[in-house]
Amino acid sequence: MVSKIQESEPGAWKNTVTGVGLGRKLFTYEEGGTLYATSAKLGSFKPIGEGYNTRILLADGTDEGLLYAIENSGTLYQIDPSSGEWEQIGEDEAWADVVAADASDGTVYYVDDEGSLFAMPVDGGDPTELGEGYDTKALYFWQGYVYVLENDGSLYKVDAETGEYELFGAEEAYDDTLAATIHQGVFYAVEDDGALGATNLEDGVYQELTGADLSDVRHLFSASGNLYGIDNAGTLQRITI
């Protein structure tokens, strides 16, 4: 049974544009340019950077973890989540054509606006093309695979080394998805009827989890062993299963 537990004052997160979970914290970029770190356990938060104009925020959980911010200008920044220290990666506007991305082990995986999937090492080198013909809404990295959610609702599982892919589930199975994330080896998708879809990435088994109405959730995160969502009113909710 799915339930929601309110974890913030109503509307406290209403200015959130994008965010990710990393370790025991939630990292969110707010309108106005501030990057915040919030303890998922305690609820305390603090700003760790200002002056951003972020379109996509990524978390690389390898070792101590890093954040990557792709700005609206297309410039990529690497951010130390503990100190907020940052450095620009590559040239100005080099990532302007990125539609969706995720990061793992020093590599950013992304789909560009021409539909090609690439793996780009952050410390230098050329990108490796892993495929083409995608029309991507979001993508997620998990244990050697890139999971590509298409705009038609189809989910593809792509080998991050070879680019070999397979349709994961039925075509357009996630066409009603409002927000999604990978949490503990399960692909969770909030559906527009308020249910929570759960697909085990090991065997592909799908379950529809019901209980609390999640139809107002617009961001979904995995952090500190829990699922979190931000609803349309800007309130942080812990989602229990």
Task: Report DSSP letters for 153-172, one per residue.
Answer: S-EEEEETTT--EEE-SSTT
Three-state SS for 178?
Answer: strand
CATH of 3-240 given 3.40.50.2300, 2.130.10.10, 3.40.50.300, 3.40.50.720: 2.130.10.10
Let me know: does 14 contact 27? Beta carbons within 8 Å: no
Closest alpha carbon to 226 in 91, 6, 40, 81: 40
Give the model's pLDDT for residue 63.
54
How much is the pTM? 0.95
Answer whether 71's CB lies under 8 Å from 84's CB. Answer: no
In this predicted model, what pLDDT tens digit does every residue of 62-97 receive, in sequence order? 556 999 999 999 999 999 999 999 999 999 999 999
Query: How far is residue 19's CA from residue 34's CA, in Å, rounded to a whole number?
Result: 12
Q: Which tokens in the block code for residue 171?
A: 């075509």
- The stretches in the chain having pLDDT less than 70 are 62-64
Antiparallel, parallel or unpaired: β 186-191 and 76-79 = unpaired
Q: How many other C-beta atoms are found inside a 10 Å radius of the C-beta of residue 158? A: 23
Those residues with Cβ within 8 angstroms of residue 42's Cβ, 6 or more apart along the chain or in another chain: none
Domain boundaries, given as residue ranges, for the chain = 3-240
Cα angle for residues 194, 241, 188 (degrees, 5° grid): 60
C-alpha to C-alpha distance for 196 and 177, rounded to whole angstroms: 9
